[in-house]
Amino acid sequence: MNKKLNIVIRTLGVLAAIAAGVFAYLLKGKIETAMIATNFAVTDTEIGAAKEFAPRMAEISAKTTALLTKKRERITELEGNKKDLEADVADKKTKIEGLTANVATLEGERADLTRKRDELTGQLAEANGKKDALAAELKTAQEDLVKEKEKVAVLFTKEQLEAEVAKANKAQENMDKVKNKYAALRNEYRGTIGAQPDPFKFPEDPTVEATTEGIASSFGADTIKTRILVIDPSKGIVCFTAGENDGLKKGEKFEVLQNGVKIGAVSIAATKASSSVAEIHPVSEKEEKEGKSATAGFTRGGEVTLSPFSGKLATR
C-alpha cells in the first residue's frame, strides 16, 4: 500500500514539475512578448518607462492612466468647442438666409423703380415734344405780333392806327392762348414728375425767365377753363388752378362741366392769385336715392369748365 502511494506521489510531483516548467516557459514567452510590445514606452518622452519588466509595467499603467484622463478631458473640451461652432454656424446660416431674402426684396424694388423710371422717361419725352411744338407756335405768334407792331409804327391816320391796334390786340390774344396752352402742358408735366427736381427747368412764362412757380388757366366768354389741383371727397372741398387773376371771387357759384357734361356745382370759398378753394354742393335727395355722389365726377388733375349760375362772371 505504501509502495503504491509513493508511486502516485512521485507521479504527481513529476506532473507538477512538468506543469511548472511549461507554465514558466509560457510565462517567459508572454513576458518577452510584453517587453517587445512595450519597448516604445522606454523611448516615449511622455511615458519614459524603465527597461525592467515590473517597473515598466507599473509606469506604463500609471502614466497611460494619466494620459488617458488628460486626453478624455481634451476630448470633452473639443466637443464643447464643436457644439459652440455648430451653434455659430447655424446662427450665421440664419443670417445668410435673412440677407438672401432681403436681397430678393431689394431686387424686386429695383425692378419696380426701373419700370417707373422708364415710364417717367417716356412721359418726359412726350411732354418735351409738346413743349417744343408749343414753343414754335408761340414764337410764330410773337413774330406776328412784332410784325403787326412794326406796321402800326408807320401808320399815320387814326383809322389805320385803330385797325392795326385791333390786329395787334388779336395777335396778343393768340399769344396769350398759346401761353395758356404752354402753362397747362407745363402743369401737366410738373404733375407727372411730382416732387422730383425739374431736369429741364421749364419757365412759367416761356417769354420771360420765371422766378416763381405758377399754374395758368384759360377762360372763354363768361366761363373759366381750369384744372382740379386737389379733391377731398370726405369734406366736399375742391381746389382749382384758377383764381383771382382769372376772375373768380369768393361767394360765386358755378356749374362744373367736363366735356360739356355737368358733373357738379360749387361755391367759391377762398381765392388766391392763381388758385381757389370751393365747396362742392351736395346732390339732391332724389339723386342721393339713385346712388349718385356729389364728388363722383371730380378727379385730381381733371380739366373742367366753370360756368357761373348767373350766366356772367362777376368781374365782367
Cβ-based neighbours of 288, under 8 Å, separated by 6 or more: 282
pLDDT digits (tens, 9 = 90+) for 182-191: 777 767 766 6
Question: Mean pLDDT, to the nearest integer, of 207-223?
Answer: 49
Band of the pLDDT at 227, cuts 50, 70, 90? very high
Number of domains in the chain: 1
If DSSP codes are grouped into helix, strand and coil, which group holds residue 270? strand
Is position 126 within any domain?
no
Give the number of other Cβ atoms within 10 Å of residue 124's Cβ. 17
Report the CATH number that the domain containing residue 232 is assigned in CATH. 2.40.10.340
- Predicted local distance difference test score (pLDDT) of residue 228: 93
* pLDDT surpassing 60 at residue 264: yes
Task: Look up the domain containing 285 and give its range.
Answer: 218-308
- Predicted local distance difference test score (pLDDT) of residue 204: 64
- Predicted local distance difference test score (pLDDT) of residue 257: 94
Is position 278 within any domain?
yes
Residue 95 is placed in which grid cell? 443670417
Question: Mean pLDDT, to the nearest integer, of 107-112?
Answer: 88
Is position 242 within any domain?
yes
Q: Which amino acid is at 20?
A: A
- Predicted local distance difference test score (pLDDT) of residue 238: 93
pTM reported for the whole predicted model: 0.33
Is position 263 within any domain?
yes
DSSP secondary structure, 207-220, as one string:
TB--SS-----EEE
Orientation angle between helical segments 53-153 and 158-193, nearest 10 degrees: 170
Q: Which amino acid is at 187?
A: N
Is position 293 within any domain?
yes
Is position 225 within any domain?
yes
Comparing CA positions, the residue from 220, 224, 136 lying closest to residue 178 is 136
Question: Mean pLDDT, to the nearest integer, of 225-234?
Answer: 90
Is position 90 within any domain?
no
pLDDT digits (tens, 9 = 90+) for 136-165: 888 887 787 666 555 444 443 455 445 544
Is position 292 within any domain?
yes
